[in-house]
């Protein structure tokens, strides 16, 4: 009798606990999934546990669908045999990645890497004011700022530690990719500096969609591009450089 | 007994008495397993740039994401060791698809897939987010009970003594189903709410724009007449918006549920094929399959068998007829 009652209370405790946990999780997911409002804002401190595993970001082509071609390009400053610094042609890395997407029913997962990075890079750059941007964009290819100099100058210009840290995380990443690419394309040269450009161009407006290919291209909004300042290279390990070079060789 | 007590009783019975949607969850398991192994196999030539040594340049950003250390395997593997772990992930996904030790396969697939996923923060998509959540919930379900190697092996074997009481196993299975279904509903409803805030969705032209970009129009140059036609654009935009927004309501009645599932599956296939993001679509289709009831799967199965049997009889009769003509 006693054992039976214990079993029953254990069953009730289990059912109550797991059901309550699930219901709380359902409520948290519901608030996190819908666009921010005063109700979701009020429970936000309790839904923090959802990040990163249960992150609810379902802005699938919403509120505004992707309507631009976005491109990341790199330029390399390298020392030639005479010891002079030369600038390479621009390397359109997004085009290299898009080789995995064009005319494929199933696009390769690496086809969108820099495309996905552009939003984060741009939002961090846009968080800087005019003076801070001018430091980030210093155009010297022969003697670029060291990463420590860049960090301290931005801090002196008033960038808050969180914003600075976040900006430098993405800058370091994109520059390291550019440095890896440079190592593959200029294996026998000393790479002095790397910079990147982010180009955006809107697609043909809906109203102009019926024209010929040439007319549709002519109707597209002008291309805009932001160029970063020259950065000190940050090449990765030998295995990293080889993997990037191998990808480059297959898809450029 | 009060109405509340009766409702609690009904809920408890629903939770503990039997496992629901066994056919649907099996189909979900098979498709998700297929998504994992086939996707990894298809990306084999570029695996090092996508997730391996060639993706280490993303490590400053990756480190800031705060993923648990349990998903660190691929982050520490390089060269051959990475390849071995990668092949293990393919095999785990294949085992999950076939239903070989389904629960173990689900756990291993989850760990390996997530370990791979976190190595590059710029590869993930909405489909990956759904996949990781559903894979976790799948570990608590009895997804190998039907249409699996496990089920086939169990046929010729005496029933084993369960590790946990059947009511407990049923509760975990059914609650995991609730979590999966709620998640998929929130994907659609949340996405629809975001869409309602965009002018291009409201004026019916949203579908046109991604299909004009280089990244999401792998066939854009060949399909331009279709993807620029107003009926296609306006029809596609409003259909996506309406079906997603009213998805939970449409699930309430059997006929409208079928309509919703057919439309949303068609929408996913359209998105997948036209935009080159088929794996995202497959994940969503896999999860939607849970919403087809066991009875419907059984009817569908019986119908398929009847059609196959009818076809066989017809072919046999045709052969006999042919033989007679040949003899005469």
Secondary structure letter of residue A92 according to DSSP: E
B146-150, B224-228, B282-286: least confident range: B224-228
Three-state DSSP state, A243: helix
Q: Does the residue B81 lie in any domain? A: yes
The residue-averaged pLDDT of A164-176 equals 96
Question: How confident is residue B1, by pLDDT bands cut at 50, 70 and 90?
Answer: low
Is the pLDDT confidence value at A185 over 90? yes
Q: Judge whether A18 and B12 are in contact, CB under 8 Å.
A: no
- Structural domain tally of chain B? 1
Domain range holding B64? 20-154+161-197+246-320
Cα B304 to chain centroid, rounded: 22
Is the pLDDT confidence value at A166 over 90? yes
The residue-averaged pLDDT of B56-81 equals 92
Residue by residue, DSSP assigns B71-104 as: G-HHHH--HHHHHHHHHHHHHHHHHHHHTSSHHH
Q: Which residue of B has its CA nearest to A220?
A: B212
- Comparing CB atoms, the residue among A55, A112, A244 nearest residue B129 is A55
DSSP alpha helix (H) spans, chain B:
3-16, 22-42, 47-50, 59-64, 73-76, 79-98, 102-117, 126-138, 149-155, 166-196, 199-202, 224-227, 230-245, 247-250, 254-275, 278-288, 294-327
Question: Average pLDDT of chain B?
Answer: 93
Q: Which tokens in the block code for residue B65?
A: 């994401």
Give the whole-number percent of chain B exceeding pLDDT 70. Answer: 100
Between B121 and B163, whose confidence is greater? B121
Candidates B189, B184, B202; CA nearest to B129 is: B184
Question: How confident is residue A1, by pLDDT bands cut at 50, 70 and 90?
Answer: low
Between A and B, how many CB-CB pairs are < 8 A? 218
Q: Which tokens in the block code for residue A86?
A: 């030369």
A18-67 tens-digit pLDDT: 999 999 999 999 999 999 888 888 888 889 999 999 999 888 788 999 99
- Residues A164, A169: Cα–Cα separation, whole Å: 9
The residue-averaged pLDDT of B168-175 equals 97
Candidates B260, B272, B76; CA nearest to A105 is: B272
Q: Does the residue B120 lie in any domain? A: yes
pTM for the structure as a whole: 0.92
Between A139 and B146, whose confidence is greater? B146
B184-199 tens-digit pLDDT: 999 999 999 999 999 9
Is the pLDDT confidence value at A182 over 90? yes
Q: Does the residue B2 lie in any domain? A: no
B230-245 and B254-275 helices cross at what angle (nearest 10)?
130
Q: With an 8 Å Cβ cutoff, is A180 touching chain B? A: yes
pLDDT value at residue A103: 84
Q: Does the residue B307 lie in any domain? A: yes
Q: What are residue B283's phi and psi, to 5 degrees?
A: -60, -45
Which residues, numbered 135 to 164 in chain A, qualify as contacts with chain B under a Cβ-Cβ cut-off of 8 Å?
none
Residue of A21, A23, A240, A251 to mutate for B, most B C-beta atoms under 10 A = A240
């Amino acid at each position: 009798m006693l054992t039976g009652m214990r079993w029953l209370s254990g069953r009730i405790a289990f059912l109550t606990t797991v059901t309550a946990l699930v219901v709380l999780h359902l409520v948290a997911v519901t608030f996190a999934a819908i666009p921010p409002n005063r109700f979701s804002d009020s429970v936000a401190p309790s839904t923090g546990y959802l990040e990163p595993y249960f992150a609810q970001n379902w802005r699938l082509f919403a509120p505004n669908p992707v309507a631009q071609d976005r491109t990341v390009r790199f330029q390399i400053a390298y020392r030639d045999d005479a010891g002079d610094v030369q600038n390479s042609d621009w390397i359109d890395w997004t085009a290299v990645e898009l080789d995995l997407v064009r005319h494929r029913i199933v696009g390769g997962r690496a086809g969108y890497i820099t495309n996905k990075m552009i939003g984060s890079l741009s939002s961090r750059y846009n968080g800087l004011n005019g003076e801070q941007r001018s430091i980030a964009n210093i155009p010297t290819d022969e003697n670029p700022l060291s990463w420590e100099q860049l960090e301290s100058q931005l801090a002196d210009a008033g960038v808050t530690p969180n914003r600075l840290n976040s900006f430098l995380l993405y800058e370091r990443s994109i520059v390291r990719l550019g440095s890896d690419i440079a190592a593959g394309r200029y294996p026998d040269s000393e790479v002095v500096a790397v910079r990147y450009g982010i180009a955006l161009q809107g697609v043909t407006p809906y109203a102009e969609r019926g024209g010929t290919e040439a007319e549709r291209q002519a109707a597209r909004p002008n291309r805009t591009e932001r160029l970063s300042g020259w950065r000190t290279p940050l090449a990765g390990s030998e295995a990293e450089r080889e993997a990037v070079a191998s990808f480059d060789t297959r898809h450029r | 007994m009060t109405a509340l007590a009766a409702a609690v009783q009904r809920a408890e019975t629903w939770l503990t008495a039997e496992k629901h949607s066994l056919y649907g969850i099996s189909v979900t398991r098979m498709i998700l397993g297929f998504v994992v192994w086939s996707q990894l196999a298809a990306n084999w030539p570029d695996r090092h740039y996508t997730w391996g040594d060639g993706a280490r340049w993303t490590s400053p950003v990756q480190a800031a994401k705060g993923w648990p250390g349990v998903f660190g395997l691929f982050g520490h593997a390089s060269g051959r060791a990475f390849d071995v772990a990668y092949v293990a992930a393919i095999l785990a996904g294949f085992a999950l698809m076939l239903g070989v030790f389904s629960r173990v396969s689900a756990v291993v697939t989850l760990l390996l897939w997530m370990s791979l996923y976190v190595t590059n923060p710029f590869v993930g998509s909405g489909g990956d987010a759904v996949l990781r959540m559903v894979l976790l919930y799948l570990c608590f379900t009895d997804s190998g009970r039907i249409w699996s190697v496990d089920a086939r092996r169990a046929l010729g074997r005496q029933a084993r003594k369960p590790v946990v009481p059947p009511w407990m196993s049923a509760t975990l299975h059914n609650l995991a189903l609730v979590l999966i279904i709620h998640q998929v509903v929130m994907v659609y409803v949340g996405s629809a709410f975001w869409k309602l805030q965009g002018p291009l969705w409201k004026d019916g032209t949203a579908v046109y724009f991604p299909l004009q970009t280089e990244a999401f129009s792998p066939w854009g140059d060949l399909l331009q007449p279709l993807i620029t036609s107003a009926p296609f654009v306006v029809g596609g935009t409003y259909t996506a918006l309406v079906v997603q927004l009213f998805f939970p309501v449409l699930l309430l009645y059997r006929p409208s549920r079928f309509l919703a599932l057919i439309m949303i599956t068609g929408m996913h296939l359209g998105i997948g094929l036209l935009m080159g993001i088929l794996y995202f679509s497959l994940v969503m289709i896999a999860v939607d399959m849970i919403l087809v009831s066991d009875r419907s799967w059984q009817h569908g199965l019986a119908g398929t068998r009847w059609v196959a049997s009818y076809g066989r009889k017809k072919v046999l009769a045709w052969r006999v007829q042919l033989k007679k003509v040949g003899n005469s």
